[in-house]
Chains A and B, each alone.
Chain A
Amino acid sequence: MKIAGIIAVTIIFVIVMLSFDPSGSIPRPIEQIVERVNVPNAVTSVYLETRLYDTIFEIIVFTITALGVAALLASLPVNIDEGQQVFGTVTVYSGGLAALSITLFLYVVINGHITPGGGFVGGVVLATGVITYGLTSSFKKASLHYDMLKIGMFEKISLVLIFAFSTLIILLPETHSQLLSEAGFGSTFSGGLIPILNILIGIKVYAGAWKMSSEFISRRGTL
């Protein structure tokens, strides 16, 4: 039974590989995109201006998955923080590296329309930095910042603002194109609403990734 499945899958993939025709017409849409959006980074202008629907639904899927993980793991007991093994030298360095990752997050997110980067990358970089700081020093100290800085409230505010700004961009394209062509090409203040959307997406992705990973770590115990 399994062997029949394997043979069938192999035949299907071989047929796909043989019928792939590499001599089709090659698209080059980058001139039109950069002229329309007036922003150096073509990838950011694609997922924040011309294909905004994909981004909206991705945010919705991410929110629902983070909710699902938090709700399903709520039935496991929280591990009492006893004996997290840390090394002294690593503890000293990890605080500095966490501060460095916050700076990197701000740079990548705010300059997302000039250099490679954007909202998604920045959020995940910050989440990785804070989790690594928590695993090498005390995890309790790292998980206190969620309540102290009221990140839950900021996450919900940013979700509402993302929906508001995207509706503005989709329904009123002339206003946004006027905003886009005001500042110079390649300056930090160009791009209209695009840097603001990048910052909000960065906050949202960071909060979601932090919630998912910290639920895992706090219920299963640190290393």
Chain B
Amino acid sequence: MSFVLIGISSLYLVSAIIVLSSRTNFQSVIWFGIMGSVSAVIMMIIGAPDVAMTQFSVGVALVLIVYIMALKKQRRVRLGFLDVPSMIEELPSGLRGLEWEIIRLVDEKEGYHVEPVKFSSKEEALKAVENHDVDLVCGAFTEDDVSGRTKGIPYLETSIFVCNGEEIDFVRLKHLSRNAISPTPEFLKKSRYVFVISMNSPDLERDILEGLNEIRSSGNIEEIVGRYL
């Protein structure tokens, strides 16, 4: 009898230590449930059936439900996009492109749910971001498009050229030059591609920055860029 009790009690202590040293909050909550169950088993062996029933139903079941409800992030991100080939485009099999890959990686890490909305022109998309109709806009926007009440999160370096009197960026130039022959463009300045979000969403901005830093430090971004450009 004593050996069984010593064994189960050391299991209780070990799971209490594992609760404190887990990396994510979700794992800690699950080990807390295991610890509560082990303590209820000890109470049953000791000879206290009332207390064991109460500990099982309150200390394990209800506490787990309440913690998981408090921990989950239930945010959806409405993503507006312009159809730019090889950046983000809509095919019958779903969305494809460089920016779609990056956004999907970042949002899976943070637990968002992405809903795509299509726009037809830059001004319409920018106005929708300022009015909070969508949360995030992508589609080869550069730093010049950011103004007023919007903010840009840069993720890739690029250059802006002047061609036929208007300024276009590198990807659109590549797409144009693939379809038609155009006069040689002139290099204007260096810029960066950005994701455009509105000024009043600091937590979304911080989550995207953290996700981008993680992707950058693990080296994935060069591989994704090499695949699409």
Residues in chain A within 8 A of chain B (CB atoms): 43, 79, 116-118, 120-121, 124-125, 127-128, 131, 135, 209, 212-213, 216-217, 220-221, 223
Contact A128/B57 with A213-B62, A216-B70, A220-B70 known, Cβ cut-off 8 Å: yes
Q: Determine the distance from Cα of A118 to Cα of B66 in the docked complex, in whole angstroms.
A: 24
The distance from the CB of A114 to the nearest CB of chain B, in whole angstroms, is: 13
Residues in chain B within 8 A of chain A (CB atoms): 49-50, 53-54, 57-58, 61-62, 65-66, 68-70, 72, 74
What does DSSP make chain A's interface, helix, strand, loop or mixed? Answer: helix
Collect the chain A residues with CB atoms within 8 Å of residue B53's CB: 116-117, 121, 125
Inter-subunit contact A121/B72 (CB<8 Å):
no
Inter-subunit contact A43/B50 (CB<8 Å):
yes
Collect the chain B residues with CB atoms within 8 Å of residue A118's CB: 50
Collect the chain B residues with CB atoms within 8 Å of residue A121's CB: 50, 53-54, 57
Q: Determine the distance from Cα of A117 to Cα of B50 in the docked complex, in whole angstroms.
A: 6
Inter-subunit contact B70/A124 (CB<8 Å):
no
Collect the chain A residues with CB atoms within 8 Å of residue B62's CB: 124, 127-128, 131, 209, 213
Q: How many A-B residue pairs have CB under 8 A?
A: 46
Supply 8 further A-B pairs (C-beta < 8 A) apart from A124-B57, A124-B58, A128-B61: A116-B49, A121-B54, A131-B65, A212-B66, A213-B66, A216-B70, A220-B69, A220-B72
The residue of chain A having its C-beta at the shortest distance from the C-beta of B113 within the complex is A83
Collect the chain B residues with CB atoms within 8 Å of residue A223's CB: 68, 72
A sample of 26 inter-chain contacts (CB < 8 A) reads A116-B49, A116-B50, A116-B53, A117-B50, A118-B50, A121-B50, A121-B57, A124-B62, A125-B53, A128-B61, A128-B62, A135-B65, A209-B62, A212-B66, A213-B62, A213-B65, A213-B69, A216-B65, A216-B66, A216-B69, A217-B65, A217-B69, A220-B70, A220-B72, A220-B74, A221-B72
The residue of chain A having its C-beta at the shortest distance from the C-beta of B52 within the complex is A116
Which of B61, B68, B69 gathers most chain A CB within 10 Å? B69
Q: Determine the distance from Cα of A194 to Cα of B107 in the docked complex, in whole angstroms.
A: 56
Q: Which of these, B58, B65, B74, contacts A221 with CB under 8 Å?
A: B74
Q: Determine the distance from Cα of A41 to Cα of B58 in the docked complex, in whole angstroms.
A: 21
Collect the chain A residues with CB atoms within 8 Å of residue B70's CB: 216, 220
Q: Which of these, B61, B68, B74, contacts A79 with CB under 8 Å?
A: B74
The distance from the CB of A73 to the nearest CB of chain B, in whole angstroms, is: 11
Q: Determine the distance from Cα of A82 to Cα of B70 in the docked complex, in whole angstroms.
A: 19
Inter-subunit contact B66/A125 (CB<8 Å):
no
The residue of chain A having its C-beta at the shortest distance from the C-beta of B61 within the complex is A128
Collect the chain A residues with CB atoms within 8 Å of residue B49's CB: 116
Q: Determine the distance from Cα of A131 to Cα of B70 in the docked complex, in whole angstroms.
A: 16
Collect the chain B residues with CB atoms within 8 Å of residue A209's CB: 62
